[in-house]
A and B are shown apart, each in its own frame.
Chain A
Amino acid sequence: MVSLKVNGQAHSVDVDDDTPLLWAIRDNLGLTGTKFGCGVAQCGACTVYVDGQPVRSCVTPVSAVGDSEITTIEGLSGKEAEAVQASWTKLDVPQCGYCQSGQVMSAIALLKENRKPSDRDIDLAMNGNLCRCATYVRIRAAIHDAARALEI
């Protein structure tokens, strides 16, 4: 049994230590907003926060998490999250939408660290998140839009 603290709630999950956090979250806790895209930390669809830091849950064994606070897209809150998700909707960023949980998680993490990111900052923060629909033009625009909204 492994203890996990997800979205503020403590869970006891009957998995071995080296189970990737992704599958514990999805298959055991039923939180499916976090997506599987590659399994090797190349696409970012599985991004969650561990103690506020974005992490690829597909290569993070549950044993590495300890008693850290895990946040999934279902547990988001705060100004940055509201601004990013509002901008994502306003600019109709998603196409197929499958990678967008991870995109949104990375974008919020960026804005928490950097309230006025440049294009270069966005490149650095977001280049681990693949979008095969190539919604990148709008992802960039939505991050700038959210940053503007946060200024007000």
Chain B
Amino acid sequence: MTAHDPNLSRRSLLKGAGALVIGLHLPLAARAQSGAASAFRPGGNATFAPNAFIRVAPDSTVTVLIKHIEFGQGPFTGLATLAAEEMDADWGQMRSEHAPADVKLYANLAFGAQGTGGSTAIANSWEQMRKAGAAARAMLVQAAAEAWKVPAAEIKVDAGVISHASGKQGRFGDFAEAASKLPVPENPQLKPASAYKLIGKEGAVKRLDSFDKARGRTQFTIDIHAPNMLTVVVARPPRFGGKVGSFDASNALKIKGVVDVKQIGSGVAVYATGMWPALKGREALKVTWDESEAEKRGSKELIAEYRKLAREPGLVAGAHGDAEAALAKADKVIEAEFIFPYLAHAPMEPLDGYLEWDGEKALARFGSQFQTTEHQTIATILGLPLEKVRLETMLAGGSFGRRAQVSQHLAAELAMAAKAIGPNRPVKVVWTREDDLTGGYYRPLFVHRLRGAVKDGKIIAWANHIVGQSFFLGTPFEAMVVKNGLDATMVEGANEIFYEVADFRCDVHSPKVGVPTLWWRSVGHTHTGYAVECFVDELLQAAGQDPLQGRLAMMGDKHPRAAAVLKAVGEMANWKGPGPVDGRARGVAVVESFDSFVAQIAEVSMGQDGEPRVHKVWCAVDCGVAVNPDIIRAQMEGGIGFGLGHALYGEITLDAGKPVQTNFDSYRSLRIHEMPEVEVRIMPSTEKPTGVGEPGVPPIGPAVANALAALGHGRPRQLPVKGGTV
């Protein structure tokens, strides 16, 4: 099969039959991240390390240690930009490496633990990384001043060159050693925004990771090889909550390349000399599963239960006035029920991890998103003190929330797999795409039941009953987000809305279901954004209002930033109402998430095949100070594609508890011919920077749905729009 087969996308499954691979490991370059390791190693090439983040080498390269995992959203570039700005470095001399796991040095200031999520990388590093850069600059300047015997105040730094009016000049590396002997200033002065040369400047900064990624040189976890290493795949229960009853490994062990089979906490682990024998070994395993405690309800049953619950009063998440009374008095109540499926994150690199230990100390290397807790989990399972376990964060092939594991299941599985085979046998645990899609930790299934009433062209009442699983209740993270039994991530974006409605209520039910669920790029906004922005559009339509002007009118002057992005996107698209014009209609939506405001307008037509075609998306974003405008644009483009693909095609369906979709042939993902043209405007701002990794996602679904309504197809009540194909 060639890659140029235009019909490749959803058919033609050519499975290679089973075979054996005998490990013939060629010696490989040991570490893609040896730079980071050496920066920490005494005798490494960095001679100036003024703080936990900045390393200056004699050749003047500046390596910034990045406390946030890079899996596409740009912290390697963004955090380096902040440091480089204050150092007055030349962008060409900047490098980035992951910081090691160390909560004392590298905590996310928004969490109090080392970890990435909630689109916080730039927001929590904004001051910290600039101060780190400013301190380094001050020390280099002081070192130069002492060497040249001139006042420090007379020294200039520009594009990595330190100079004095006398004609003396040098680079950072020339003063690195001298600077390293100086005291670190505690509160270095930061530049005024007017002096920025990199922050917010178009074209001033390019991603530090593009070059290698375009050449296949980036090392991900799956690429790790080590002498004597075993590849491990795990047979896990087909239903959530199932356990290993018994297993027979005799056939698996006959397969050449299979070294061992062990039961571990998550299932039955097959250890082999490579991926292919590991997969063959797993296929040959006979496992009897104990499903006595397994979740056996399917999506159909859960939806029926949730719909019933949505008709009973739930825990109040937000209320003012008396929505029920107002609805009871209304001439006409408009009702809409929206059903959202389970969704998989499906990062391109499935979950994986590498671990080596000798019984006394361990090294774990993987795409760790919550370093602090994963570090502890691995140490606990191996029975080692924390300081004997080193955790190196690897660049990861996407996450979208999947690697931010509340349950720690991957770190635990990795440690259990290493422990079960014993010391001095490095292991690399690899999940297949089937493992990934059937492995749970989904965006939870949700039902929103909304009722509203309009009078004299105004929305007067709004009631929203939300039903879905909480992935926080009953976990160690509960204290972070759950108050009075209410999981804030379930209702964010729905319990408070931009729109002024006299009588308002939002309540929630959190039924217990045995399907592991997790946050998924933009978390609660993945469903609340759709429900709220579709329903307000529907009510405005009933009230005879323009979708855009009507929203602005209901915002009043209370939401200036939301109103501003809405006005901006209207201007960009030259909004003249939803249409349709020449078969194309437009829908609008605006959502605040992670303290950023994003408005989008989608231009949509209906294809002859009955599939919506999204031609163009206009997007206005206010994320405070725009540190890297091009990365913000990229995140809006990517967020729109990610959100659109799932709104149109994405669903994990459970049939009697078992996931139906097992690979990209059935878990349909957006492809290039389905990607709209995207135009992004970044609002000028002096506010602190806020999130960009997630906020591009929520508005696209409702914007498309609202356009579909204008085309006469109604707003889809159940996602995905093209669902039920399996």
Give A residues with C-beta under 8 Å from B: 13-20, 23-24, 26-30, 32-45, 47, 53-56, 58-61, 72-74, 85, 88-89, 92-101, 104-106, 109-110, 113, 122-140
Contact = CB atoms under 8 A, between A and B. Distances in A.
A84 B211 CA distance: 12
A126 B663 contact: no
Contacts of B43: none
A129 B2 CA distance: 12
Given A19-B20, A28-B24, A59-B15, A128 B9 contact: yes
Interface of B: 1-6, 8-10, 12-28, 71-74, 206-207, 209-220, 222-223, 225, 231, 273-276, 346-350, 395-400, 432-434, 630-631, 634, 637-642, 644-645, 663-665, 669-673, 675, 677-678
B23 A27 contact: yes
7 contacts: A28-B21, A45-B348, A53-B2, A92-B207, A96-B347, A123-B673, A137-B677
Contacts of A136: 641, 670-672, 675
Given A29-B26, A32-B223, A41 B1 contact: yes
Contacts of B14: 40-41, 56, 59
Contacts of B397: 35, 96-99
Contacts of B219: 32
A132 B19 contact: no
A126 B8 CA distance: 10
A72 B217 CA distance: 12
B21 A15 contact: yes
Contact of A135 (B22, B637, B644): B637
A105 B215 CA distance: 10
Given A15-B22, A23-B276, A138-B634, A125 B4 contact: yes
Contact of A127 (B9, B274, B276, B677): B9
A40 B21 contact: no
A95 B16 contact: no
Nearest to A58: B16
Nearest to A136: B675
Contacts of A16: 19-21
Contacts of A99: 348, 397
B214 A38 contact: no
Can you list the 3 inter-chain pairs with the closest CB atoms, starting with the nearest? Answer: A134-B641, A33-B216, A98-B397
Contacts of A28: 21, 23-26, 274
A33 B215 contact: yes
Given A27-B276, A55-B1, A41 B215 contact: no
Contacts of B399: 96
Most chain A beta carbons < 10 A, residue from B19, B212, B275: B19
A79 B10 CA distance: 32
A79 to B, nearest CB: 16
Nearest to A86: B214
Contact of B638 (A59, A61, A135): A135
Most chain B beta carbons < 10 A, residue from A28, A95, A106, A122: A95
Nearest to A130: B669
B210 A88 contact: yes
A99 B349 CA distance: 8
B349 A98 contact: yes
B672 A42 contact: no
Given A32-B223, A129-B3, A134-B637, A98 B677 contact: no
Given A42-B664, A101-B216, A106-B3, A23 B21 contact: yes
Contacts, number: 273
Nearest to B437: A38
A16 B88 CA distance: 57
A97 B211 CA distance: 10
Most chain A beta carbons < 10 A, residue from B14, B25, B225, B640: B14
B672 A40 contact: no
A40 B665 contact: yes
Contacts of B210: 88-89, 92-94, 97
B14 to A, nearest CB: 4
A134 B640 CA distance: 8
Contact of A134 (B8, B28, B215, B675): B675
A137 B231 CA distance: 36
A43 B275 contact: no
A126 B23 CA distance: 33
A43 B675 contact: no
A19 B397 CA distance: 25
A129 B4 contact: no
A96 B72 contact: yes
A119 to B, nearest CB: 9
A96 B398 contact: yes
Contact of A85 (B19, B215, B274, B664): B215
Contacts of B28: 30, 32
B19 A19 contact: yes
Contacts of B350: 36-37
A138 B637 contact: yes
A41 B15 CA distance: 8
Given A26-B275, A96-B348, A127-B9, A133 B398 contact: yes
Given A27-B23, A36-B275, A47 B3 contact: yes
Nearest to B9: A127
A79 B268 CA distance: 49
B1 A124 contact: no
Contacts of A92: 206-207, 210, 630-631, 634
A147 to B, nearest CB: 16
B673 A13 contact: no
A40 B15 contact: yes
Nearest to A102: B3
A38 B275 contact: no
A41 to B, nearest CB: 6
Contact of A39 (B211, B212, B225, B663): B663
B380 to A, nearest CB: 30
Contacts of A73: 215-216
A40 B664 contact: yes
Contacts of B218: 97
A17 B73 contact: no
A132 B348 contact: yes
A34 B216 CA distance: 7
Given A74-B216, A97-B72, A137-B637, A132 B16 contact: no
Nearest to A140: B672
B672 A126 contact: yes
Contacts of A95: 71-74, 398, 634, 638
A90 B640 CA distance: 22
A99 B72 CA distance: 11
B433 A39 contact: yes
Given A19-B20, A30-B27, A42-B663, 19 more contacts: A16-B21, A36-B222, A37-B349, A39-B432, A41-B13, A42-B665, A43-B348, A43-B664, A92-B207, A93-B210, A95-B634, A97-B72, A104-B214, A124-B673, A133-B641, A134-B638, A135-B634, A137-B678, A139-B672
Contacts of B71: 95-96
